[in-house]
């Protein structure tokens, strides 16, 4: 049985192995499959992906440049996390503003297919919460926010949101550990989806801002508890 449950390498791909390993590990980190602080080794990853240690070592260097892992001499390789409250604040200060703008634009520009998808994602979030599937919640949340980003129809906004969303996703699972957070999460998504679907741009902006602030506060509360 695999230790990390990583996606398999595509043996038919023309991409260099180091790039494929990098992509697999990056996705696992950003989706929370590899947990903050978890130790990984070249040997374990090479064995799980059925590759040699060389492309794994090269992938580690690429991930280190993105600050997704920490390579500590004499200790090993660890999944990077957030080390200070300021890091969290810096990310979420910007997210509040940009997610609010994205929701505002999405309410003005959303099409029928995107409305349908938002409704479906709300149902999927409900299903994940009923089964206490935190990883499922994260996957659906990523898709939910992707629809809003696409409906906003602003490519530069989308680029900035992608970067911020990736950073926030790394510690998303920790926020779910707070009692009652998953139910709040569902209520926030329902309110946001309703405003966008109904074309209520200002309400959508306010709902998005409130949703991001709630996630911000939840993550901070868990972070501060862990620090103490």
- pTM for this model (two decimals): 0.76
In tens, the pLDDT along 59-105 reads 999 999 988 899 999 999 999 877 788 988 998 999 999 999 999 99
Residue 173 domain boundaries: 85-227
119-123 average pLDDT score: 96
**pLDDT in the model for residue 208:** 98
> Would you say 187 and 142 are in contact if contact means Cβ atoms under 8 Å apart?
no
With cut-offs at 50, 70 and 90, classify the pLDDT of residue 114: very high
With cut-offs at 50, 70 and 90, classify the pLDDT of residue 209: very high
- Position 10 in a domain: no
**Cα distances (Å, whole numbers) of residue 118 to 61, 143, 164, 191, 195:** 38, 9, 21, 11, 11
CATH of the domain at 32: 1.10.10.10
Q: Percentage helix, strand, coil, to 5, in the chain?
A: 70, 5, 25
Residue 2 has pLDDT above 60, yes or no: no
In tens, the pLDDT along 9-49 reads 877 788 999 999 999 999 888 777 787 788 999 999 999 99
Question: Both 116 and 202 in a single domain?
Answer: yes
Question: Both 105 and 215 in a single domain?
Answer: yes
- Position 6 in a domain: no
Q: Helix or strand or coil: residue 76?
A: strand
207-215 average pLDDT score: 95
Question: Both 72 and 185 in a single domain?
Answer: no
> Would you say 107 and 204 are in contact if contact means Cβ atoms under 8 Å apart?
yes
Question: Both 98 and 187 in a single domain?
Answer: yes
How many domains, in total, are found in the chain?
2
In tens, the pLDDT along 86-97 reads 988 998 999 999
What are the residues whose beta carbons fall under 8 Å from the beta carbon of 84, sequence distance 6 or more?
none
**HSE-up (13 A, CA, CB side) for residue 177:** 11
Question: Both 71 and 153 in a single domain?
Answer: no
**pLDDT in the model for residue 170:** 66
Given its phi and psi angles, is residue 76 left (phi above 0), alpha (psi -120 to 50 degrees) or beta? left
What percent of the chain has a predicted confidence (pLDDT) above 90?
61
Question: Both 71 and 118 in a single domain?
Answer: no
In tens, the pLDDT along 166-185 reads 777 666 666 776 778 888 99
Longest dimension (CA), the chain: 57
Question: Both 138 and 203 in a single domain?
Answer: yes
- Position 1 in a domain: no
**Final residue in a domain of this structure, among 79, 114, 131:** 79
């Amino acid at each position: 049985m695999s230790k990390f449950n990583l996606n398999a390498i595509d043996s038919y791909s023309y991409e260099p192995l180091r790039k494929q390993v990098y992509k697999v590990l990056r996705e696992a980190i950003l989706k929370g499959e590899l947990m903050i602080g978890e130790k990984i080794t070249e040997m374990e990853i090479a064995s799980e992906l059925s590759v040699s240690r060389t492309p794994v070592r090269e992938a580690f260097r690429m991930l280190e440049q993105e600050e997704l892992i920490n390579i500590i001499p004499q200790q090993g390789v660890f999944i990077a996390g957030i080390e200070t409250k300021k890091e969290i604040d810096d990310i979420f200060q910007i997210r509040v503003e940009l997610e609010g703008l994205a929701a505002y634009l999405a309410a003005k520009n959303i099409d029928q297919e995107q409305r349908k998808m938002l409704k479906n994602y709300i149902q999927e979030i409900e299903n994940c919460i009923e089964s206490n599937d935190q990883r499922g919640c994260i996957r659906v949340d990523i898709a939910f926010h992707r629809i809003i980003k696409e409906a906003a129809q602003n490519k530069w906004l989308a680029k900035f949101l992608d970067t911020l969303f990736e950073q926030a996703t790394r510690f998303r699972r920790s926020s779910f550990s707070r009692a009652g957070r998953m139910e709040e999460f569902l209520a926030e998504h329902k309110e946001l989806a309703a405003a966008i679907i109904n074309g209520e741009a200002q309400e959508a902006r306010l709902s998005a801002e409130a949703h991001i602030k709630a996630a911000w506060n939840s993550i901070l509360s868990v972070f501060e508890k862990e620090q103490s």
